[in-house]
Structure 1
Amino acid sequence: MPTLDNPAIRTPTAAMLAGVTTRSILRWIEDGTMTGEQCAGRRGATDVVWKVALDSLKGRIPLTLDEQIVQHIIHADEGDPAAKNALGLSFYAAGQYSIAAGWFEAAARQGHVDAMDWLGNCYLKGQGVSRDKALGLKWLSEAAAHGHAVAQHRVDALLPG
């Protein structure tokens, strides 16, 4: 199944990449349109997770899986917030705002300041999420509180005098 050339990732990561639910990934494994296997989870043998071969996601991810993207995917699957933000930026650049916002949120919740700024802007513009000025300001303010100068400028521009 997975090899160094064809890494395996957890189903939640696969779902975020494809812009679908984890249930959809599991259904694709069950019907044979995707390759997956059960593995022990982080909490031991009773915690079972599914991993899917990254190659089996080709055509379901709206990005070209070059070496850099694959590395970001592997690191994001391991929990790296910088890799999650990088994936958000890649999806954003590809016009896949909904998927981008999901990656920005995942990174922002782990304290990644740039992701907070990007997520705030997604909410302000309604890109990939419902337009929500309060949530946009919340995330921009959080980024600004952590020293993000651009976010601070945006917050200052949004708040009256």
Structure 2
Amino acid sequence: MNFVVRTLAVTPVSIQSVIAMTGRSQRTWLRRIEEGAVRKLKPDARGRARIALEDVVAQIPCKLTPEDRVLLVQADQGDAEAQADTGELFFSAGLPHAGRYWLELAAEQGYPNAMQCLARCYLSGEGAPKDEDMAIRWLADAAARGHFIAREQMRALRGGLFARRHAGG
């Protein structure tokens, strides 16, 4: 008789990412590891503690498709484009704080789309405290890196400032 042995896939993800996506604390996740409810995996090349995504996916307050999970792993590994896309995914799922986490990671790597999206977050106060100075900072950085929409937004801001300065003669 031949037996087929199947192993369950284990997808490593950093605890920091899990904290951002679930809103639960590091202490909570460490306790769950200690209890055996979550598998602790080897640290990644950057020394970040990792756990099995399959053990925590039910705790993420939105449904992730298999494609979303692949994107999430790429984002967790440091791919700036995947981080920006993951940020947008969480924003569209109604989880702006998780979205901001991913956008900030991508923006810190100089990814212009993420910078422009972060500017929108700070301007609207969605997922971040409302802060016009931070919004302009991220918008200017995105524009300086050639982001077309950010350039147009900066042009409009400059035009509005010019008009206000010269209004009333």
Residue in 1 that maps onto 2:20: 16
Tell me by how many angstroms 1:65 deviates.
Answer: 1.9
TM-aligned CA distance change 1:98 to 1:34, over 3 Å: same
Partner of 1:7: 11
Cα distance in structure 1, aligned partners of 2:25 and 2:75: 17
From 25, 29, 51, the counterpart of 2:29: 25
Tell me how far apart the structure 2 counterparts of residues 18 and 126 of structure 1 sit (CA, whole Å): 20
How far does residue 40 in structure 1 lie from its aligned partner after superposition?
A: 4.7
Return the match for 1:42 from 45, 49, 53: 45
Q: Secondary structure, in 3 states, of the residue corresponding to 1:59?
A: helix
Partner Cα distance (2:20, 2:128) in 1: 14
Instruction: Give TM-score scaled by structure 1 length.
Output: 0.85
With over 3 angstroms needed to count, the CA separation of the structure-2 counterparts of 1:137 and 1:20, relative to structure 1, is: farther
Matched letter for residue 20 of structure 1:
R
CA–CA separation in structure 1 for the residues paired with 2:155 and 2:32: 47
**1:1-161 paired onto structure 2 within 5 Å:** 5-37=9-41, 39-42=42-45, 49-159=48-158, 160-161=161-162
What percentage of residue pairs aligned between the two structures are identical?
32
- 3-state SS of the aligned residue for 2:129? coil
Gaps of 5+ in 1: none
How many Å separate the matches in 2 of 1:145 and 1:27? 44
Greater share of residues in helix: 2
1:113 to 1:4, Cα distance in 2 relative to 1, 3 A: farther
Supply the AA of the counterpart residue of 2:37. Answer: T
CA distance in 1, matches of 2:128, 2:19: 17
User: As a proportion of its length, which structure holds more strand?
Assistant: 1
**Secondary structure, aligned partner of 2:94:** coil
Instruction: Call closer, same or farther: CA 1:40–1:88 in 2, change over 3 Å.
Output: closer
What CA distance in whole angstroms lies between the structure 1 residues aligned with 2:54 and 2:125?
Answer: 32
CA-CA distance at 1:4 after TM superposition? 7.0
Asked whether the 8 Å contact 2:38–2:56 carries over to 1, the reply is yes
Q: How much does 1:24 deviate?
A: 3.1
TM-score (norm 2): 0.82
| CA RMSD in angstroms, aligned pairs only | 1.9
* Structure 2: gaps spanning 5 or more residues: 1-6, 163-169
- Where 1:63 maps in the other structure, the secondary structure is coil
Larger Rg: 2
